[in-house]
Structure 1
Amino acid sequence: MTRVTEKGQVTIPKSIREELGIRPGDEITFVETEEGYVVRKDVDESRFEKWRGVADTDDTVTDRMDELRETR
């Protein structure tokens, strides 16, 4: 069972966070249903979109894959 703090905060149990893939900084939504509320993790249109532009390189994907394969 989870308790609500004076600030209205709750701790989502670790097993549920892992099952839903919830990590620090993720946003969740409480959806009202006939049985109560459901917690849903908000997902970007593309789960890869947040990584766009992260790599600091001008290499192509093929060049990067070739480089990674050589280290094996």
Structure 2
Amino acid sequence: MRCPYCNEEMQKGFIPNGGQPVQWIPDGGKPSLLSFSIAEKGVLLISKFSPLKVNGYRAEAHYCSKCKVVIAPTKE
């Protein structure tokens, strides 16, 4: 996927749904095992705190390191 701002290729990854801060993680990476921690290769996203249940869901998302933007497609 190409970044709509700079037209560079974006990195494929995901946004996990769990007890950690909202973050983007590259494909092949894993969320931190510690609650409220960022994964080793994770990119923290701006968010408000909200307690979530750990349920194993994750959303596909792409990251542009040049523009510092994450894009995630929606279901609808």
**Band the TM-score falls in, shorter-chain normalisation:** under 0.3
Normalising by structure 1, what TM-score? Answer: 0.27
Please state which structure has a larger fraction of its residues in helix: 1
Whose Rg is larger? 1
Normalising by structure 2, what TM-score? Answer: 0.26
